[in-house]
Amino acid sequence: MKRASALLTWWYLVVGGICTVVAISAPQAGVREALYLFACIQIGPVLFFACRRNGVSTEVAGFLVAVGLLYAGAQLVSGDEPTYTNPLAVALGLAGTGCIIFGLVALLRRRGVTPTEGLLGDGLIVGLGAWVISWAALVQPIVDETGTTAWSTVLYGMYQPTASVVLFLVVVVLLDQRNRPASMWLLASALTFNLLGDLLYALIDAGHMPASAERVALPMYIAAFFCAGAAFLHPSITQVMRPQLPSRRPVMGRLIVTTSSLVFPVIVLAGTSANDTTDKIVRSISAVVLAAVVTARVAQAVRANNVAQAELLHGAQTDPLTGLPNRSVLLQQINDLMRGSWNPDTHPTLFFVDLDRFKNINDSLGHAAGDEVLMMVAQRLTNAVPDGAMVARLSGDEYVVLDPAAKSQGASMALAERLLAVFREPLALSQGDVFVTASIGVAAISPTSSTSPEDLVRHADTAMYRAKDAGRNCMAVYDESMHERVAHRLAVETALYRALDRRELRLFHQPILDLHTGEVEGFEALMRWQQADGTIVSPAEFIPIAEDTGTIVPIGSWALLEALTQLRRWIDDGVCSPSATMSVNVSPRQLGDTNFPAIVSEALTRSGVSPQLLWLEVTESVMISEPELALATLRRLRSLGVRVALDDFGTGYSSLSLLQKFPLQRIKIDRAFVHGVADNPNDRSLVRTIVAMGRSLGLDMVAEGVESVHQLQVLSDLGCGKAQGFLISHPVPADAMRSTVAALERLGQFPGLRPNVSAPVN
């Protein structure tokens, strides 16, 4: 349909071009007037058809038809006489031009360019400048010739000023957008042809051109009518009428047009002399009014520039959502406080406030609700702080309170408690009430400290994270030990990124013993990290860091392949039986990786190990935090033939629903229960219950942390089939496993086992 409309538009333009050429070529005035009348008549139905076809409101078409009728009326009323001799013709012509100006302003408003004081002022300057030229070049010659200064002649002189305003607005429309559709150019062409017609008639009336030039002037109006009709026939007219955000403001175009409107009148006034007293008065008044308008426009531009700068400064220093000061203002306030005169009776303090689990609100209720929470929290914090204190929002859900006038450390703690208290009442959102808690870090500001404002904010931030580690919804006060811990963690985190490439990570293995046969049933792979300088980093330290940073994913993939490759090597070398298994711990991050099943499959293929020999050990937290994702991943792993074990059973959220819902084949009883199984009746009862439950579900049972023969015997009596621990063997490197397995085989059945058959490995 759009292609057909575009084709129709170009054919319509061809017809208009033919009519224009015929009108210019025709020697008889009657032919030109007939073609002009045809152009006036056809524009009405064409516009209504175009608006209906392209979805433009009929009010717009009616408005344009009214403009055409006004111009046609002016032409018909004036007849063969000069337009300036007929006041009605002058009024109709000015009314038509005024309607065009009104329409262009409405178009600019619709497209998002509000006609501000600046736009109106520029238009007034253009009109006044054109009036000066029009008076000197067109109106004054007519006055001299006719000897009259009738109002019709003066009003006639307004044709060119109003036409110049139209030209100015056309320039603004064209320069307003980078994307200028065909309809916009056609509308500009229609207005240009109309202005050319007015200018030619004015030059003829003023005697600057012969009367024969009318054969060119009248066809200009014909071309204008056809260009206007083509603009609305073209499908791109909807883009012209549609509100848009301008990509650039037409500053340069407006500047050129406005400057020209000042320069040319000055040249005209300087290059021509007044003919009589009336001419002097008109020139003087016009120059004074133009100067006044220019002065007012300059003053308005300066005022607008000051307002814009103030808004930019306010935007640069204010959080756009909450209206609170931002980081830059906060740092400047801290810097001024530290560099200014210090009151020894005050203890300035920073409070770093971070909302707990704010991401859950965004994920569950949406970002609009999250923004509501942030604004309400900002208001509550502002109401809670004393006079003179500042509340700033740094980013996300992070706020900082600066209290420069705290009287003591106790007063600072009281304010921290008051800040925590603002979260005890629910937040009334549009979607319902929600409860939000916060963790607060407190850092004191010392007059003798050389710490920068950024460091002080970081200290409060560090204390806030200590509060989160302590369970959230509490506060923590910064001390130097916190910085040392943070620096150490950062050093470990940085070194961990390179540990895999530097081959600093190694796998140790702990045998798992079958209590019925006394044979080594399998092994658990345990990761160890020994840095290049010999420093050994505990797994309890670097594994959580690897989880937080995501490096556990590549490290876990390496450990999986390394453990399976080592099992294949042991089986091939006769170190263990062909049915021996390998247990590998899997982190929540790994289970959350959609590629993890593919990684497991590739490791099995590359190592040549059968899938049923691989046990993947997961913790209960995986099933609680992301149950659907964990269930889907575990099912995909089970489809590979891999078996899944629940590690550290009994220490988390253990429930029968987990055992029933998830595809588990083994339970590993945590060492916390095994430790007291020999001496504590309660622990023994718990282990008996766990074993009975596991056996009833058909699950394999492994006890962890066995350290005494008595524990081993009790576990065997309770029906636990497998065990691992220091009694059987410490975790050992791969090259020590042959001797370890051989020593275990020499010991025979478990009643005769001796503790520590392998040398402890730290």
User: Which structure tokens are listed for 76?
Assistant: 């018909």
Which of 97 and 759 is assigned the larger pLDDT? Answer: 97
- Residue 753: which residues within 8 A CB-CB, separation 6 or more? 709, 712, 727, 728, 747
pLDDT at 202: 73
Check: CB of residue 77 under 8 Å from CB of residue 88: yes
Going by C-alpha positions, the residue among 528, 538, 513, 576 that lies closest to residue 706 is 513
Asked if residue 652 has pLDDT above 60, the reply is no
pLDDT band at 230 (very low <50, low <70, confident <90, very high): confident
Percent of the chain exceeding pLDDT 70 equals 81
pLDDT band at 512 (very low <50, low <70, confident <90, very high): very high
437-483 pLDDT, tens digit per residue, is 999 999 988 766 667 889 899 899 989 988 988 888 999 998 877 77
Asked if residue 148 has pLDDT above 80, the reply is no
pLDDT at 107: 64
pLDDT at 295: 86
Which of 254 and 28 is assigned the larger pLDDT? Answer: 28
How far is 438 from 424, CA to CA, in rounded Å? 10
Instruction: Give one DSSP letter per residue of 359-378, joined into a string.
Output: HHHHHHH-HHHHHHHHHHHH
Asked if residue 378 has pLDDT above 80, the reply is yes
351: amino acid identity, one letter:
F
Asked if residue 600 has pLDDT above 60, the reply is yes
Which of 483 and 46 is assigned the larger pLDDT? Answer: 46
pLDDT at 63: 66
Taking residues 626-650, report their average pLDDT.
86
How far is 353 from 92, CA to CA, in rounded Å? 70
pLDDT at 300: 81
pLDDT band at 756 (very low <50, low <70, confident <90, very high): very low
Backbone φ, ψ for residue 611 (5° rounding): -55, -35
pLDDT band at 84 (very low <50, low <70, confident <90, very high): low
Taking residues 75-81, report their average pLDDT.
65
pLDDT at 247: 47
pLDDT band at 761 (very low <50, low <70, confident <90, very high): very low
User: Which structure tokens are listed for 27?
Assistant: 């020697």
673-717 pLDDT, tens digit per residue, is 898 898 888 889 989 998 998 888 889 999 999 999 999 999 999
Name, of 134-143, 178-187, 584-593, the range with top average pLDDT: 584-593
Name, of 55-69, 137-151, 361-375, the range with top average pLDDT: 361-375
Going 284 to 288 to 291 to 293, the CA torsion angle's sign is negative
pLDDT at 642: 95
How far is 556 from 546, CA to CA, in rounded Å? 10
How far is 762 from 569, CA to CA, in rounded Å? 25
Q: What are the CA-CA distances from residue 591 to residues 540, 548, 597, 635 (Å)?
A: 20, 14, 9, 11
Going by C-alpha positions, the residue among 142, 283, 123, 146 that lies closest to residue 202 is 142
pLDDT band at 725 (very low <50, low <70, confident <90, very high): very high
Q: Where are the alpha helices (DSSP H) in 79-150?
A: 87-110, 117-134, 140-146
pLDDT band at 752 (very low <50, low <70, confident <90, very high): very low
3-class SS letters over 389-449: CEEEEEECCEEEEEECCCCCHHHHHHHHHHHHHCCCCCEEECCEEECCCEEEEEEECCCCC
Taking residues 354-383, report their average pLDDT.
90
651: amino acid identity, one letter:
T
How far is 227 from 50, CA to CA, in rounded Å? 13
Which of 726 and 107 is assigned the larger pLDDT? Answer: 726
Q: Which of 322-336, 444-458, 548-562, 626-640 has the lowest mean pLDDT?
A: 444-458
How far is 391 from 529, CA to CA, in rounded Å? 44
Q: What are the CA-CA distances from residue 396 to residues 324, 374, 469, 687 (Å)?
A: 13, 8, 20, 47
Going by C-alpha positions, the residue among 220, 82, 197, 87 that lies closest to residue 142 is 82
pLDDT at 238: 73
Going by C-alpha positions, the residue among 117, 465, 144 that lies closest to residue 275 is 144
Backbone φ, ψ for residue 486 (5° rounding): -65, -40
Going by C-alpha positions, the residue among 645, 657, 642 that lies closest to residue 722 is 645
What's the CA angle centered on 160, arms 159 and 162, to 5 degrees?
A: 70
pLDDT at 490: 78
User: Which structure tokens are listed for 578?
Assistant: 């062909």
Residue positions counted in the chain: 762
Using DSSP, how many helices (H) and how many strands (E) does the chain show?
30, 17
Name the 3-class secondary structure at 86: coil
Maximal CA-CA distance, the chain? 138
pLDDT at 315: 78
pLDDT band at 641 (very low <50, low <70, confident <90, very high): very high
pLDDT at 364: 83
467-485 in b/e burial notation, b at 16+ Cβ within 10 A? Answer: bbeeeebbbbbbeeebeee
pLDDT at 637: 92
263-274 pLDDT, tens digit per residue, is 877 787 777 777
pLDDT at 749: 44
Instruction: Give one DSSP letter per residue of 696-713, joined into a string.
Output: HTT-EEEE----SHHHHH
Asked if residue 165 has pLDDT above 50, the reply is yes
HSE of 343, CA atoms in CB hemisphere, 13 A: 10
User: Which structure tokens are listed for 383?
Assistant: 């109401």
pLDDT band at 762 (very low <50, low <70, confident <90, very high): very low
How far is 29 from 219, CA to CA, in rounded Å? 11
Orientation of helix 277-317 relative to helix 327-339, angle to 10°? 80
How far is 408 from 392, CA to CA, in rounded Å? 22
How far is 337 from 447, CA to CA, in rounded Å? 9
pLDDT at 489: 75
pLDDT at 632: 87
pLDDT at 759: 38
- Residue 76: which residues within 8 A CB-CB, separation 6 or more? none
pLDDT at 450: 64
Check: CB of residue 158 under 8 Å from CB of residue 131: yes
What's the CA angle centered on 523, arms 560 and 531, to 5 degrees?
A: 55
User: Which structure tokens are listed for 359?
Assistant: 């991401």
Q: Which of 138-147, 602-611, 656-665 has the lowest mean pLDDT?
A: 138-147
29-62 in b/e burial notation, b at 16+ Cβ within 10 A? Answer: eeebbebbeebbebbbebbbebbebbebeeebbe
Asked if residue 145 has pLDDT above 80, the reply is no
Going by C-alpha positions, the residue among 540, 533, 549, 535 that lies closest to residue 496 is 549
